[in-house]
């Protein structure tokens, strides 16, 4: 499996991600749609960081160098503050001047409309919008606003949009089948923002990290190393690994930030190669390859599905309210609702409500859960994904006393097509049972047997 690994042990920022992707083999010409849609152009160069040759990417707006968020010293996307090292000194670049956040500052909805107007390939547009949604929801959570009411300042400017959309374009050009990241260094100390002084990581970065599928780590120096933009891009595209996975490396590239650190190269490393997904036996894909060469069946897999898990405890909910949660929460985006009887404080009977939904729907589902039940708090647990079957529906026809009755039957399989469960839909079976006088379990048995008979034989 062609795999891209980001090694974020000295942090990540938007321009560093773009630079690392180019250094790892992506074509800079892939960035053309951004320059066509915005008054920006990209300047790709090279620099040496602590003896490591690395690629740089600067965004130029109206002949001014727009240092993006890659020097790890911007504090927050609302209040950037760069210190320029000798590799990017504006005094040596003619008329170019630092213009962080140049251009119009936009609301979340305006950014979405702009990205959708660029005519990007669907996969690229989806990646960029996922990153901006992470940014938007983080800002909304930090400032207590609704998503559509959230206004980006630096993050909504032309240069930041160029970073996010540029990273999506370069990633598509590189074409990995899987993207992973090691734990990303957040840095340490404090950072100055327009809202005051905060500890690193900044609030927006912290919020994005709580929603993303990778870990962050403190240090290795007291500077801000992970920016909200960098965190959002990684959160939109990468799964977290504790270390660089088993990889037959084909190419390594380094994307540089602006600042120079005494002992730590200010670079983000990108590795590209043939990766094998680790499993309970240490190297599942290698084991599957060996079995396939030997003519033995290969183990099937379940599909990876990003989720959020919401919970609340109730000790005063009426049965009618609990009974209606499946329907009301499903309309808000819930994928599954479970209600478990439990004992509350002072041994009072109560219920634990657990809801599974997509991360993007978590806020809406939590609000609906609170409104329906009156609960004073909804917590989000640590689960970030689940493993699910590929599901398809077949229609079985049951003939009873000369009349045909149809029942939907759910077929569950692994990602390689191996069917492991066939289940008739209860509501359909109950309706047929009512009409025919057959027991429900007999209806289910017959329709499930019919579908099993129709499945391909190995």
Per residue of the chain (458 residues), what is the pLDDT tens digit?
899 999 999 999 999 999 999 999 999 999 999 999 998 899 999 999 999 999 999 998 765 444 444 444 433 333 333 332 333 333 333 334 333 445 567 888 888 899 999 999 999 999 999 999 888 888 888 777 777 666 665 554 788 899 999 999 999 999 999 999 999 999 999 877 666 788 899 888 988 988 887 889 988 999 999 999 999 999 999 988 888 888 999 999 999 998 999 889 999 999 999 986 544 343 444 444 444 444 444 445 666 677 889 999 998 888 888 999 989 999 888 999 999 999 887 788 899 999 999 888 888 999 999 889 888 889 987 666 667 777 888 999 999 999 999 999 998 888 777 888 899 999 999 999 999 999 999 999 999 999 999 888 65
Note whether 162 and 193 are within 8 A (CB): no
State the pLDDT at residue 202: 85
State the pLDDT at residue 85: 31
- Which of 14, 5, 8, 51 is CA-nearest to residue 268? 8
Place of tokens 């329907």: 327
State the pLDDT at residue 266: 95
Which residues contact residue 343 at a Cβ distance below 8 angstroms, ignoring those fewer than 6 apart? 349, 350
What's the CA dihedral at 263, 179, 253, 228 to 10 degrees?
Answer: -50
State the pLDDT at residue 360: 82
State the pLDDT at residue 196: 73
Quickly count: other Cβ atoms within 10 Å of residue 92's Cβ.
10
State the pLDDT at residue 13: 95
Task: Provide φ and ψ at 356, rounded to 5°.
Answer: -105, 130
Q: Is pTM, for the whole model, over 0.75?
A: no
State the pLDDT at residue 94: 37
Round to whole Å and give the CA distance between 252 and 272: 6
State the pLDDT at residue 128: 94
Q: Which residues of 285-301 are buried (b: 16+ CB within 10 A; e: fewer)?
A: beebeeeeeeeeebebb
Which residues contact residue 44 at a Cβ distance below 8 angstroms, ignoring those fewer than 6 apart? 19, 22, 28, 55, 56, 57
């Amino acid at each position: 499996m062609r795999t891209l690994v980001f090694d974020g042990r000295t942090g990540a920022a938007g321009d560093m991600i773009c630079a690392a992707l180019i250094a790892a083999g992506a074509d800079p010409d892939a960035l053309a749609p951004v320059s066509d849609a915005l008054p920006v152009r990209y300047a790709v160069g090279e620099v040496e960081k602590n003896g490591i040759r690395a690629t740089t990417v600067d965004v130029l707006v109206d002949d001014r160098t727009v240092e993006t968020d890659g020097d790890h010293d911007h504090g927050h996307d609302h209040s950037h503050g760069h210190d320029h090292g000798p590799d990017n000194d504006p005094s040596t670049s003619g008329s170019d001047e630092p213009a962080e956040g140049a251009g119009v500052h936009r609301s979340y909805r305006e950014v979405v409309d702009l990205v959708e107007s660029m005519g990007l390939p669907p996969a690229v547009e989806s990646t960029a919008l996922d990153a901006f949604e992470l940014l938007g929801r983080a800002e909304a959570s930090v400032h207590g606003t609704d998503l559509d009411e959230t206004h980006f300042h630096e993050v909504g400017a032309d240069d930041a949009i160029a970073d996010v959309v540029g990273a999506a374009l370069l990633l598509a050009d590189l074409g990995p089948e899987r993207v992973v990241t090691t734990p990303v260094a957040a840095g340490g100390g404090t950072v100055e923002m327009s809202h005051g002084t905060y500890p690193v990581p900044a609030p927006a970065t912290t919020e994005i990290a709580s929603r993303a599928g990778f870990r962050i780590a403190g240090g290795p120096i007291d500077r801000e190393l992970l920016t909200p933009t960098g965190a959002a891009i990684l959160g939109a595209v990468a799964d977290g690994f504790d270390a660089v996975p088993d990889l037959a490396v084909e190419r390594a590239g380094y994307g540089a930030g602006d600042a120079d650190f005494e002992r730590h190269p200010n670079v983000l490393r990108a590795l590209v190669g043939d990766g094998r997904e680790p499993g309970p036996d240490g190297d599942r894909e290698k084991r599957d390859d060996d079995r396939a060469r030997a003519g033995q069946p290969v183990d099937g897999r379940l599909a990876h599905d990003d989720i959020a898990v919401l919970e609340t405890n109730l000790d005063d909910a009426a049965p009618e309210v609990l009974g209606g949660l499946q329907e009301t929460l499903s309309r808000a985006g819930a994928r599954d609702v479970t209600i478990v009887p439990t004992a509350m404080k002072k041994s009072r009977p109560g219920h634990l409500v657990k809801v599974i939904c997509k991360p993007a729907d978590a806020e809406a589902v939590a609000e609906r859960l609170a409104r329906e039940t009156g609960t004073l708090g909804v917590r989000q647990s640590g689960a970030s994904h689940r493993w699910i079957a590929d599901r398809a529906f077949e229609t079985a026809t049951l003939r009873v006393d000369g009349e045909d009755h149809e029942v939907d039957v759910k077929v569950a399989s692994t990602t390689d097509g191996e069917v492991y469960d066939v289940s008739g839909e209860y509501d359909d079976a109950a309706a047929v049972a009512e009409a025919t006088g057959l027991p429900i379990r007999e209806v289910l048995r017959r329709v499930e047997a019919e579908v099993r008979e129709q499945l391909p034989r190995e």
